[in-house]
Chains A and B, each alone.
Chain A
Amino acid sequence: MIFKKNPQEEFGKIYDEYIEKIYRFVFLKTNSVETAQDIVSETFLRGWKAFSKQSSNGKKIKHFSGFLYRIAKNLIIDYYRQKAKVQIISFENVTMIANNDKNFEKANRDTEIASIKKVLQKLPDDYQDIIIWHYLEDLSVPEIAQIMEKSEEAVRVQLSRALKALKTELGVIKEPDSPS
């Protein structure tokens, strides 16, 4: 390579591509716009520092998107450790989502978002993550494996278990009757 790429420009592209995804992920886990903004800010700040460092020392971080998700996930864990309680989602929180659509459509969408969120949040934390990444953000199994630092096989198994748990939650799989 004759010309070295500008790290700021490179990271700017990563920022543009992942800011919404990371924000969405954090918001779904924290249910608070302010908290999501704080965590996402810190995530990208740490990401930018790491990115600049790798640009100067030449040690490239593989799969930077996975790296950002891992930072965000760790910050969420830290947040709950400090907070020691989960904020209950309220309809008001959901309606804070920016939307310029007509009120009727917005109300319908908000209701739908709230119901989906409600189901998701009943799942164990790891299952929530894997469903969000795979079905909402369309991340492939290898990409999720990078984020979770697990083998692809382990991710497939976890994804299967997550779907099973989701089905249970949705009432598709009926629990076997207890023997009388």
Chain B
Amino acid sequence: METQEFLAKIKVLRNIKPRQEWVSSLKRELFAEKPNSSFSQVLEVLKSGAEFLLFRYRGAFITTLTIMIFSAVVALAQNSLPGDFLYPVKQLSEKTVLLVLPSKEKTKAELEIAQKRLEELETVAKNNQVQKLAPAVKEYKQALSSVARKLAQDSTKVKERDLARTVVEKTEKLLEKENEVAQTLATEIGVKDLANAAIPYYESLAKELLEDLKAVTLNDAQKAVLEEAQQAIDKGDYQTALEKLLSVNSK
């Protein structure tokens, strides 16, 4: 065969063709999945890495995630008000803190909680959140009852100077705040409730302070105030008695 003849005949090789079905199916397969862009490749790498880490350390991951979610919920609950969905979580976290505190600190902590309840009540009153008013008053009353119970149980400890000072300071603030809240609630049903709520706490505290002051040496002016406080206690006006007892040191 001549070279030219061969080169002419070589065209017969054009009859070598792929099967048409294969050509079509390859084209379909080719365009079925779009080739990865660099961004999607990075995502793919991150995804596979995350999957590996999740599989390898899933126990630690689940624990960490649970802790993170729980912490987030607790943190979120700190801004809740009585009647809110997350309010029980806030109370639970406070109770947990009370459990781990040394007994000496618990009375102060209970007082701080009562202060918080009063602040919540103030917020509710200021924002005119009528629906939350009843739960807020209820929570404040419960907090005060709890403080009163604590003081009754730890009556000897109230006599300790630093604790007594703290209790007095916090009570003074509480009284001031209560007056402010009472003014805010002037047109609401809360005034009466608020006054009643404080009675057990004021009674317990006033009696403890009275006994405490009787045991120390007082000047005439202080003795006169002490007498007035005693009369107020006898009349059942514990708030007035407490205010007078707290003013003894300034006489």
Q: In residues 92-136 of chain A, which contact B (Cβ within 8 Å)?
A: 97-99, 109, 112-113, 116-117, 119-120, 131-132, 135-136
A23 to B1, CA, bound (A): 27
What sequence of 0s and 1s flags, for each residue 17-33 of chain B, a beta carbon within 8 Å of any chain A beta carbon? 11110110011011100
A132 to B22, CA, bound (A): 23
- Point out the residue from B13, B23, B30, B35 that lies within 8 Å of A24, measured CB to CB: B13
Chain B's nearest CB lies how many Å from the CB of A11? 8
Contacts of B10 in A (CB 8 A): 116, 120, 131, 135-136
Chain B's nearest CB lies how many Å from the CB of A69? 16
Q: Does A76 contact B (CB under 8 A)?
A: no
A15 to B27, CA, bound (A): 8
Select the residue from A19, A117, A119, A166 with max chain B CB neighbours within 10 A: A19
Secondary structure type dominating chain A contacts:
helix
Q: Does B16 contact A (CB under 8 A)?
A: yes
Contacts of B1 in A (CB 8 A): 119, 170
Whether B6 lies near A49 (C-beta < 8 A) is: no
Do A116 and B13 form a contact, CB below 8 Å, given A8-B31, A15-B27?
yes
Chain B contact patch, size range:
20 to 34
A36 to B19, CA, bound (A): 12
Chain B's nearest CB lies how many Å from the CB of A62? 20
Do A98 and B17 form a contact, CB below 8 Å, given A44-B26, A170-B3?
yes
What sequence of 0s and 1s flags, for each residue 41-55 of chain A, a beta carbon within 8 Å of any chain B beta carbon? 100110011001100
Number of A-B contacts (CB under 8 A): 87
- Point out the residue from B16, B19, B20, B27 that lies within 8 Å of A113, measured CB to CB: B16
A109 to B17, CA, bound (A): 13
Whether A170 lies near B6 (C-beta < 8 A) is: yes
A56 to B11, CA, bound (A): 39
A45 to B35, CA, bound (A): 9
Q: Does A17 contact B (CB under 8 A)?
A: no
Contacts of A40 in B (CB 8 A): 18, 26
Whether B16 lies near A24 (C-beta < 8 A) is: yes
Chain B's nearest CB lies how many Å from the CB of A169? 9
Chain A's nearest CB lies how many Å from the CB of B166? 69
Closest partner residue, chain A, to B7 (CB atom): A135
A53 to B35, CA, bound (A): 8
Do A41 and B26 form a contact, CB below 8 Å, given A166-B3, A167-B3?
yes
Contacts of B161 in A (CB 8 A): none
Chain B's nearest CB lies how many Å from the CB of A168? 10
Closest partner residue, chain A, to B29 (CB atom): A41
Whether B15 lies near A163 (C-beta < 8 A) is: no
- Point out the residue from A15, A109, A119 that lies within 8 Å of B15, measured CB to CB: A109
Contacts of A52 in B (CB 8 A): 34-35, 37
A23 to B9, CA, bound (A): 19
Closest partner residue, chain B, to A26 (CB atom): B18
Contacts of B27 in A (CB 8 A): 12, 15, 19
Q: A24-B17, A52-B34, A170-B3 are in contact. List 5 more A-B contacts (CB 8 A).
A: A109-B15, A113-B13, A116-B10, A116-B13, A170-B1
Selected A-B contacts with CB under 8 Å, 24 pairs: A12-B31, A15-B30, A19-B18, A19-B26, A19-B27, A37-B18, A37-B22, A37-B26, A45-B30, A48-B35, A52-B35, A53-B35, A97-B16, A98-B18, A99-B15, A113-B13, A113-B16, A119-B1, A131-B7, A135-B10, A136-B14, A166-B6, A167-B3, A170-B3
Residues of A within 8 A of B (CB): 8, 12, 15, 19-20, 23-24, 27-28, 36-37, 40-41, 44-45, 48-49, 52-53, 56, 97-99, 109, 112-113, 116-117, 119-120, 131-132, 135-136, 163, 166-167, 170, 172
